[in-house]
Structures are given as structure tokens and as C-alpha cells.
Homo-oligomer: A and B are copies of this chain.
Amino acid sequence: MMPGTSSDPIITLIGAGLAGALLAILLSKRGYQVELFERRPDPRKQAGHAGRSINLALSTRGLHGLQHAGLADTVRQRSIKMPGRIIHTLDGETRFQPYGVNPSEVLYAISRAELQHLLLDALAHTPNVHLNFDTKCVEMHLAQQTLTLSHELTGEITTLIRPHVIGTDGSSSAVRSAMLRTPRFDYAQTYLEHGYKELTLPPAPDGTFQLDPHALHIWPRGTYMLIALPNLDCSFTCTLFMPFSGSVSFEALSTSDAITMFFEQQFPDVVPLIPDLVKDFTANPTGSLVTIKCSPWHYRDHLLLLGDAAHAIVPFFGQGMNCAFEDCTELDACIEAETPDWERVFAAFFSRRKPNTDAIADMAIDHYIEMRDHVADPHFLLQKQIEQELAKRFPKQYIPQYSLVTFQRIPYAQAREQARIHERILQQLSAHINHPDQVDWQQAEHLIQRELPLSREGAA
């Protein structure tokens, strides 16, 4: 850790996960001394993984953040392009759906561990960054600006005075606990009824991919679904999303027989591909899915929450990391605009970012509800078909919500606003019909011109 005399412009980050590491690089580029304290050991020295990390799908917002750090190309090289999703139906058929309309609109599959290593390696070559592993933040006194740290191996306790601390310590943030003790701090943690479990779909005996690697695979089954993302070693990381309890649930799958039967009935094409299915299923933990919202994110000029620590979201829009990386570039912009007044930096970041992180949190929940309740609803499917046609016919005006969130960088709140307009248009166009052929395209054009004029799209 650093000497910390008052003349040093030190920024202290608690948590050297994805957001912390990227932010440290951006801060260093601005000339700050940065110190990071990370509770866990250096992951580059560890074997294996925790068995609960959903594979990551990097998209435009995340790449933009990495670009700022000069890392976008390196990361792209270590990832696998996914130009679309492949839907696996119950009868074993597959259907490819492209994500975007042009070749650049693709997702990049990368394992969290891979990306983490890359960022830490970059950090090691970044000047004025001091990275401390195995160091847990056990206490903060905001008024005194003190930070008490415990070394996880030696047990040594240190108390430091630090002027500016940023909590990048994830959804169960210790830094946020300090904020919880400040007056009138709004806080909400809301869990889904669904949990998730990770399973590994290994490479074929000849070392090749067992499924098409250039796609995100989805086995949608109503109240539960399986997804798979490719890894560079030719394996796939699968994630099963399912209710914790109920007739079809993690609770109900309590025996080897029940697990086997469930997979054979619901995902018959997957069973031969995962030889260790029951073992994996039994050994791996069942993760929970939480949305966290709080307000404010900062305490004067002393403390700021960023990334999952400020706004954990559920993974159904694939935006958790992308949103956290966008936080980093947005904070960078606020630093540029408002320093040396750090209270204004933090306040500007909060007021600029909060409506947008609320919006992506809500859109991710909406996606979950859509997946859970609407996917089998014929009227919903009709609207989706009309939407595809609208996007084709009016490509400059009707940009689907998924594209706005995934392949553009317009503020999330604006993307949600556009999506609400889309919903109204689709409701009107689908009101009295039951097939996309029956759409009144004159009415459609009229609605689009009125509700989505080109000037709006220009703003996007």
C-alpha cells in the first residue's frame, strides 16, 4: 500500500474485480495514484474457478470502456464472436437468429476469469497503480475518512486515512455497508424466484467444439431455460435458470434420477454432450439472482459506489459487466468535467448514471418476465414477428430495444423510452390480427413517422 501523505492525489478502490481493474487503468491515465484493495487472492495464481460465474457476453458498451483503456483489441482476440443465438427446441431442431443487422453487431463470449486476468496483467504494466490482494475492507468511518483493512493471510489489521474511496466491490459490497449506516440512504435488494446453476459442456474427445461455437445457445422451456456460451478451450459454459422451488425447480431435482430424467425429457440433445451432468449438477452451487438499487451512491467527496456495488442487475439482458464498464467511462467523463471538486464529480456521476442503471435493471427484469411468462404467448410472438419486419422496413427509425441496449450507447433510460414507444406501436398494429401478413403497413408507416421521427433516431 502507498504512503498516503496528503500531497498525493490518491484514489483508493475497494475491489479489483472487472470494474475496479478497468477503472484503475482509466484513473492512472488521468495521472492519479491508484491503490486497490482486493479481498481475494490473485486469481492468476489460482487453479480452477468458483463454478458460479455466468459466462460473459461483451457488447458495445463494454468494448467502449475497454477501448478507453486500450484493451479492446486484446480482449476481442481472446474471445469468441457470437453473431446470433441458436434456439434449441424440444424436438431437437435448431434455429439461428442473428443479433444485429450488420456484421459488426455481434456479441463476444469471454470467460470472466480470462477477462479478469487480462485486466490484471494490464494493470501490472500501468504506472502509479498499487494492487493489494488478500486485503479485506472490514470497516469504514466515513466522517473520519478512515478505512480499516485486514490481511486475509497474516491477520494484520491496518487503519488508513484516505480522502477518496471508490467501492468497486460488487453486489455484496462492504463499502455499501458503510453507506447503509448514513442517514436516509435508500436501499433495496430484490431476489428473483429463479436461481442458476453452471454446468460444463466439455470439448469432444478430439478436442473440438461439440456445438457451433459462433452462437449463444438457448434451450427455452417456459419457466426455465438452459443457455451455453463458447470458451476458447472448445468447451461451453452452460447455465440452467430455474425456479428455486415448485414442481419444476432446483428443490425438486434432489436426486440423481430426478436430474437425469429432467434433462432427458427437457434437453435430450444436451445429455450426450455432458458426461458429468449429475456430478456437476450436484457439486455446483445454485446461485441466486438479485437486483440491488440504492441512493445516493456517494458520501460527500469521500466515498462513491460504482458497478454492481451501486446497482446489481439480473443477467437476462447480458448487461451487468457492460453497464459496469460504462460506469467507468462515465465517471472518467465526470472527473474530466468536475475535478478538482470531487463532491461534484461524485454527484454528477450519480445524477447522470442513476436513471440509466435503474432503466437497465428494469429492462433486465422485464426480459426475465418476458422469458418466463410471454415466450409461449402467441400474441407476444406475433408482436415479435411484426417487430422484426418493422426493423427491416424502417431500419433508421425502428431500432429494436435489444439493439439499442446491446449495440448502441444511447443512455439506457432513452433505450427504455424508445422501447415503450415500440410497445405502443406493436399493440396498435397487432390489435385485431393474428398473423404478420395482416399488418396494415400504411398504418405502420404512419405510426412510425409520427412516433419515431428521424430526428429522434438522429439523437440516438
Contact = CB atoms under 8 A, between A and B. Distances in A.
Interface size class of A (residues with CB under 8 A): 10 to 19
B188 A187 contact: yes
A285 to B, nearest CB: 11
Contacts of A434: none
16 contacts: A183-B288, A184-B191, A184-B244, A184-B288, A184-B290, A185-B189, A185-B191, A186-B189, A186-B190, A186-B191, A187-B187, A187-B188, A187-B189, A188-B188, A188-B189, A188-B190
Contacts of A191: 184-186
Contacts of A190: 186, 188
Interface in A10-25: none
Contacts of A189: 185-188
A91 to B, nearest CB: 35
Interface of A: 183-191, 244, 288, 290
Nearest to A291: B186
Nearest to A286: B183
Q: By CB atoms of chain B within 10 A, which of A183, A185, A290 has the most?
A: A183
Contacts of A184: 191, 244, 288, 290
A313 to B, nearest CB: 16
Contacts of A290: 184
Contacts of A186: 189-191
Q: By CB atoms of chain B within 10 A, which of A184, A189, A288 has the most?
A: A184
A184 B183 CA distance: 25
A298 to B, nearest CB: 16
